[in-house]
Each structure stands twice: as C-alpha cells, then as structure tokens.
Amino acid sequence: MQVIFNRLETSPLDIDTGVEPAIARAVASALAAHAVPLVTRRDGRIEPLASGVFYRAGQRLWLATCRHVFDDGAVLGDLGIALPALGQVRWLREARARLLAHPDHDLAAILIGNGAFEREVCRAWRALPLEDFDDAPAHALVLAAYPYAQMRRVDAVLHARPIVVFARCLQSGSDVWASYARTARRADGLPVHSPSLDGASGATLWALRTMTADGRYVLQPAAVQSAFKHDAYMRGAPFSALRQFVLAVH
C-alpha cells in the first residue's frame, strides 16, 4: 500500500508562558495522540484542510472541528482523516458520518457512524470523554495542530509537521483568546518565526493547569481554535459550547 501521508517530528514553541522545556516536550508527546490532521482531495492529490480532535459521548464518537471548514464548498464526504502510523488516509464518505454545525459559534461536530471505520481511527487516535471540564481561566493555553505552513508535498506524499505552541491566555468567555506573536522560543532555546496558523482551525486549545496538591500538570480542553492574527491573538469557541451542543442532540 502506497504511503501518502508522513508525519514529521516537531519541537514545541513557547510564545510567552515561560514553560519549562521538559514540560513542553512532555505535553507535545501527550497531544500527539489527539491532534488530528484533516485533508481533502483535489485533482487526485491530497491537500491539507484543517485540524480536529476526537471526543466520545456515551457510545458515540465525534470529531470536533470548526464550521468554516465547510464554507468554501467542502462537503463531508470530501474530508479525510490521516492515519500517520500507516501513512494512509481514511475518507469520511466511508463512515456514514453526520455533520452538525453550531448555529452561533464557529463549531462543527461530526458523528462517526460506521463501526469498522470507528475502530480503525480509534487505533490511530485517542478519543477523550466529552466531560464538563473546568472552564476557569488558565495562565497557559496549548495549541496542537497541523498548519499549512508546516506541510509540503513530495510527489504523492504529503509531509506534515505538527505545531505545538504554548501561549498566555488573554481572555475567556463567549470566546477564548490567547497571545500569538511573530516569534517564539523553541524548546531548545532557539528563537524562531512562529508559523501562520492557516490549517490549524478546528484544533483544540488546551488549558495547562497545575494541580496544587502534588504539583502535576493537567491538560483540559478549553476551546476549538478558529482564528488568529500574528502579533495579536489566537481565538476559539469555548469547549463548553461544543459539549452543550453535542449533548443536546446526543
């Protein structure tokens, strides 16, 4: 079977949180199992489209992303889920999938309806329970996603380097906002240009919290990323809106 998707190694970036390099690397390793690259097919070749994360509500598996993914003519059957360990893509047209678009927020939830398809993607990606997570503001937010700027194609293979970036939380409420500057510091201390986040839409923004009892860090979903501006912000719809929306139709 021909390999058509190749995930590359990445080094986490810090905008302005001061996260310790060892913690940053541990978080990046943990989130590698959750940040899902979504692709589409154009002229017989796969193209990057967006990002997403799997969640489970009861026995149902949902793929969370953002609504504007479908604003430019993309339809559900055109979306593919990359399976990096196999170097392959599985297409949602095989999944008896159902799309739900939030009426107010830039959120979309895709119900994965085929048992064999569900089992295959769950071997590749971990699904989190759709729980009522703490929505109190956190000092640091983490984005794990697949931006276009870190992808390139060689012949028929799409090579993709995920981004894991730590940023200070600016505001939470009807939307969640985090800082995003043009430069960041890599885990090895090297200052680098922070990439454009086109293609990161639909990824989960994670709150990095410290459990004061024993000092451990805990990651919890905080928002679904949908927009950014260099030297200004990342923005996403609050995770609580996604949870309420999915459970209302569950």
Give the residue extent of every domain in the chain: 5-35+130-238, 36-128
Pairing mode of beta strands 217-229, 204-210: antiparallel
Token couple for 29: 């390793």
Pick one of 2.30.30, 2.40.10, 2.60.40, 3.30.450 as the CATH number of 36-128.
Answer: 2.40.10
Q: How confident is the model at residue 1 (pLDDT cuts 50, 70, 90)?
A: low
Mean pLDDT confidence for 64-74: 88
- Averaged pLDDT score across all residues of the chain: 91
As separate numbers, helices (DSSP H) first and strands (DSSP E) second, the chain gives: 3, 20
pLDDT at 56 over 90: yes
The model's pLDDT over 181-227, given as tens digits with 9 standing for 90+, comes to 999 999 999 999 999 999 999 999 999 987 656 767 889 999 999 99
Beta-carbon contacts of residue 126 (< 8 Å; ≥ 6 apart): 33, 34, 54
Per-residue pLDDT band for 148 (boundaries 50, 70, 90) equals very high
Residue 154: the pLDDT is 87
- pLDDT, tens digit (0-9, with 9 covering 90-100), for 172-181: 778 999 999 9
pLDDT(2) > 80: no
* Model confidence band, residue 16 (pLDDT cutoffs 50, 70, 90): very high
Q: Name the CA dihedral angle for 5, 10, 15, 19, rounded to a multiple of 10 degrees.
A: 130
Q: How does pLDDT run across 94-145, given as a tens digit for each residue?
A: 988 999 999 999 999 999 987 899 999 999 999 999 987 777 778 899 999 9
Find, among 123, 127, 143, 130, the residue nearest to 199 by Cα. Answer: 143
- Predicted TM-score (pTM) of this structure: 0.93
- The total of other beta-carbon atoms located within 10 Å of residue 238's CB is 21
Q: How far is CA 132 from the centre of its chain?
A: 19
Q: Is the pLDDT of residue 65 over 90?
A: yes
pLDDT at 147 over 90: yes
Instruction: Give the strands of the sheet with 5-7, arranged side by side.
Output: 5-7, 157-160, 151-154
pLDDT at site 156 = 83
Beta strands (DSSP E) in 58-175 are: 60-65, 80-83, 88-91, 98-101, 108-112, 128-129, 140-145, 151-154, 157-160, 163-171
The SS3 call for residue 249 is helix
Q: How confident is the model at residue 250 (pLDDT cuts 50, 70, 90)?
A: low
Q: What is the pLDDT at residue 208?
A: 93
pLDDT at 247 over 60: yes
